[in-house]
Structure 1
Amino acid sequence: MGTVAETTKLQEREGAEIIRGGEACYQNSMDLLEELGFPKGVMPLQDLEECGRVRATGFVWMKQKAPYEHFFKGTNTKVSYAQEVTAYIEKGKMKRMTGVKSKQMLIWVPIVEMSSLDDGKRIYFKTTVGLGRSFPASAFEEEEKKEGK
């Protein structure tokens, strides 16, 4: 018998559309960001192995081969992505996010929500304590162009 956490994780993923393989997962994650109204450079995950989506609940996940850190020049921010990133999605929003942390001063702060503001011109990132910051969406579009994707 599994733990309560394992059982909950299985229930959360029940009825999921699951995609495996680097290219297919990368394309799926880019399509998802576009569908939600976010610039493609906002989640620069590396070496994706699996991604999934439960349309009934809005639950999504993306698994990488290993955790990854990325420095966004446009926002002067270092962000850490765990091996697995999860969220509940709706148009213009990713909420109840796990696996994403931003380095603020000397502390890693979990990011739990990402919202599109001002008709997609700004993106607001919220932390576990309810505080957050917004950045121009164009800062992440530059990342997209830099990556050549």
Structure 2
Amino acid sequence: MNGLVEGFVVSLWLKEKFASLLEEKGLPIGLLTFQDIQECGYVKDTGFVWLRHKKKRELCKFEDVVLSYDAEITAYFEPKKIKNLTGVKAKEFLIWITLTDIYVDQSSSITFKKNLVALSKSFPVSVFNV
């Protein structure tokens, strides 16, 4: 029984730490999935972040867009930005597209930049607030 309780506490602690990091960087808490986090880390000097989950997840988030999160996600966090994102894809109109950058602007909208040149889509930040 102790192992289960410790696992739960560690998982809860990781979720709280990662949520705190997102808030500190001016990013909405619901932007990345916290479900089944096994490990996460942050290198403050470079902004490098990694998240490891038990398994890959697909979540329908908004406006007919499905987000897919790999078991491992990496990125570089900056204030109101996520750059060089790996492990996150968006499906819209039956096509999966890898997301590479995410920006929050002053008008309270969030923009997803895709790996193809000049493709981006914006949504209200409120969609990602938990």
Q: Of 102, 106, 120, which residue of structure 2 is paired with 1:132? A: 120
Indicate the residue corresponding to 2:109 in structure 1: 122
| Shift of residue 88, structure 1, vs aligned partner | 0.6
| Residues 114 and 125 in structure 1, CA contact (< 8 A), matched pair in contact too | yes
- Alignment of 1:34 with 2:23, yes or no, is yes
Distance 1:107 1:129 in 2: 13
- Alignment of 1:87 with 2:75, yes or no, is yes
| Shift of residue 118, structure 1, vs aligned partner | 1.8
Superposition map of 1:1-149 within 5 A: 21-73=10-62, 75-118=63-106, 121-130=108-117, 131-141=119-129, 144=130
| Shift of residue 22, structure 1, vs aligned partner | 1.2
Query: What number of residue pairs does the alignment pair up?
Result: 121
Distance 1:133 1:140 in 2: 14
Q: Normalising by the residue count of structure 2, what TM-score does the alignment of the two structures yield?
A: 0.87
| Shift of residue 42, structure 1, vs aligned partner | 1.6
| Residues 45 and 68 in structure 1, CA contact (< 8 A), matched pair in contact too | no
| Shift of residue 84, structure 1, vs aligned partner | 0.5
**Structure 1 consecutive aligned stretches of length 4 or more whose deviation exceeds 4 Å:** none
Gaps of 5+ in 1: 1-20, 145-149
| Residues 123 and 136 in structure 1, CA contact (< 8 A), matched pair in contact too | yes
Distance 1:59 1:116 in 2: 18
Render the CA deviation track for 1:54-103: whole Å, top value 9, x for unaligned. 11111000000101111113x33100000011001110100000000000
| Residues 93 and 115 in structure 1, CA contact (< 8 A), matched pair in contact too | yes
| Residues 45 and 81 in structure 1, CA contact (< 8 A), matched pair in contact too | no
Distance 2:35 2:58 in 1: 9
